[in-house]
């Protein structure tokens, strides 16, 4: 008991929670960046490089990477290193079908809960996407795109639904970078996102769902082209 009292006196009564907190923070940061498209398909993530990037020891990074491996957000690749998985056309279509069903449902459920404050946030994300395109900031566009969609879906108030949607974005996120480098795709995407905001402003669930579906189908069409072309194979390597 005396040793315990001495320890608390020396440290101001702080509890030992740093490791668990670090692991969770690293996991969430990596997870969000994979969903947002910050990492490319096939890109390796070594424990050492991640640890150096976030300024921590290897141990919490190892735990975070293992959690992402369990979620299939990372797979064992060359030299047993964990890397961002690649997709084939068949898997792309399967994920697209699931996204259409689940994200369409999420936006419909979100409609009654979306208020003016939510609309302001969505308009802000839309502006961020637009400005990122003008400044050729791919990372900024990808982050704003995920923020836009996730804000809508979280208003659905359905934890399991959101969890499944996020698991699909973990598989798709790295490929969104390919479409974000195509200005033709981006021009169409901005029109669709504008229409989604308009539908939400009107409380039109059918139009909002149609907008989400149009966004998914456009990305799937362009990504399928990439996967079936030599350029797409090279970009995914």
Q: What is the CATH number of the domain that holds 126?
A: 1.20.120.530
Per-residue model confidence (pLDDT) at position 56: 84
Helices in 136-227 by DSSP H: which ranges?
138-154, 159-180, 183-202, 205-227
Domain span at residue 183 reads 89-235
In angstroms, what CA-CA distances link 64 with 18, 26, 146, 160?
A: 14, 6, 21, 21
Q: Same structural domain for residues 230 and 191?
A: yes
For residue 75, the cross-strand partners are: 83
Residues 119 and 177 in one domain: yes
Query: The pTM is what?
Result: 0.83
DSSP 66-94: HHHHHTTSSEE-GGG-EEPPP--HHHHHH
- Block means of pLDDT (10 residues each) for the chain, 237 residues, are 44 48 88 91 89 86 92 87 91 96 97 97 98 95 96 94 95 91 93 98 97 97 83 45
Last residue of a domain, one of 83, 100, 117: 83
- CATH label of the domain that carries residue 21: 1.10.10.10
Domain limit, last residue, from 53, 83, 113: 83
User: By CB neighbour count within 10 A (0-12 exposed, 13-18 middle, 19+ buried), where does 138 fall?
Assistant: middle
Domain boundary among 60, 83, 106: 83
Residues 66 and 93 in one domain: no
DSSP type of residue 44 = B
How far, rounded to the nearest angstrom, does the alpha carbon of residue 78 sit from its chain's CA centroid? 24
Instruction: Note the pLDDT of residue 53.
Output: 86
pLDDT on residue 20:
62
| Domains: count for the chain | 2
Same-domain check for residues 117 and 189: yes
Mark whether 57 and 116 lie in a shared domain.
Answer: no
pLDDT of the residue at 82: 92
Give CA separation, 219 vs 57, 63, 186, 189, in Å: 38, 33, 10, 8
Do 79 and 101 lie in one domain? The reply is no
pLDDT attached to residue 19: 56
């Amino acid at each position: 008991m005396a040793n315990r009292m001495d320890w608390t006196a020396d440290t101001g009564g702080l509890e030992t929670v740093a490791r668990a907190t670090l692991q969770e923070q690293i996991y969430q940061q990596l997870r969000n960046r994979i969903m947002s498209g910050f990492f490319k398909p096939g890109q390796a993530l070594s424990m050492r490089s991640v640890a150096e990037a976030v300024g921590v020891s290897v141990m919490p990074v190892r735990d975070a990477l293992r959690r992402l491996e369990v979620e299939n957000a990372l797979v064992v690749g060359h030299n047993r290193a964990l890397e961002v998985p690649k997709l084939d056309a068949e898997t792309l279509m399967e994920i697209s079908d699931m996204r259409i069903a689940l994200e369409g449902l999420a936006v419909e459920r979100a409609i009654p809960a979306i208020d003016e404050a939510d609309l302001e946030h969505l308009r802000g994300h839309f502006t961020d996407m637009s400005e990122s395109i003008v400044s050729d900031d791919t990372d900024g566009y990808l982050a704003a795109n995920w923020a836009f969609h996730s804000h809508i879906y979280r208003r659905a108030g359905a934890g399991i639904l959101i969890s499944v949607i996020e698991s699909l974005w973990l598989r798709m996120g790295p490929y969104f970078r390919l479409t974000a480098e195509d200005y033709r795709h981006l021009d169409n995407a901005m029109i669709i996102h504008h229409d989604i905001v308009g539908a939400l402003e009107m409380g039109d669930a059918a139009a909002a769902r149609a907008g989400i579906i149009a966004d998914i189908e456009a990305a799937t069409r362009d990504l399928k082209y990439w996967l079936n072309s030599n350029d797409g194979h090279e970009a995914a390597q």
